[in-house]
Amino acid sequence: MESLRVREENVHIISHPYAQELLTIIRDKSTEYYMFRSILEELGYIIGLEIAKNMDTKEVYAETPLGVKAKGIKIIDKDNVIIINVLRASIPLVNGLLKIFKKARLGFVAAQRLEDKIMFNNEGMKFEIKISYMNIPEIRREDTVIIPDPMIATASTILNTIPLIIKKGEPKRLIVASVIITPEAIRKIKKHYNNVELYTIAVDPELNSKGYIVPGLGDAGDRYTGT
């Protein structure tokens, strides 16, 4: 079992009690699919708030109905966001993120983890990933690219997706957003792409022999679709 003491640079663990309560609800095997789906979307919204909190801002003024100018801010990068929808498990997280980043452009990657293709190397467990479809917009230097994935176990999907994104251009920021991630996945992502920022609700300690996160919350795709 790996340590839960995560001190990597640019790893943001969202410890807000409300987010942790939502996570507790969807961990419960008795939580029904419609509630599971709704909570994943809400967690996407919360993660979006945390990402926006760390975006550059500038000072602006708004004239109120009383004819008085009030000082405020504009989040500079909020309108320069690309969200990569990793089908199918990411859909609820994407819907939540879009409530914050309403002008985000969308990319799509259909990535399937081949469950019977477990491999091991000096970095740990990995899976063969089948990419059957992708459509990623051109990336500008001012863009923030967000890759949401509820469960990041071995990081195999993420490590197969990032190169597809980089081929489309070099963004200002590249962010991986999850509900649960493992220390092993954090280590792998940071080893290969140290500039990637990670946002997550929880870091779970280990993987079982089939590559599922423990304690985890099961298969997110199956649980939110009710299959």
Strand order in the sheet with 11-13: 11-13, 197-200, 173-177, 144-148, 81-87, 105-121, 124-135
CA atoms within 13 A on the CB side of 12: 20
Which of 221 and 32 is assigned the larger pLDDT? 32
CA distance 95 to 79: 16
Domains contained in the chain, CATH given: 11-225 (3.40.50.2020)
Q: Output the pTM of the full model.
A: 0.91
- Give per-residue pLDDT as tens, 171-222: 999 999 999 999 999 999 999 999 999 999 999 999 998 889 999 999 888 8
d(CA 15, CA 126): 28
Look at residue 8 in the predicted model and tell me its pLDDT: 64
d(CA 154, CA 175): 17
Q: What does the pLDDT read at residue 176? A: 98
**Identity of residue 70:** A
User: What percentage of the chain has pLDDT greater than the value 90?
Assistant: 79
pLDDT tens digits along 120-174: 777 777 878 889 999 999 999 999 999 999 999 999 999 999 999 999 999 999 9
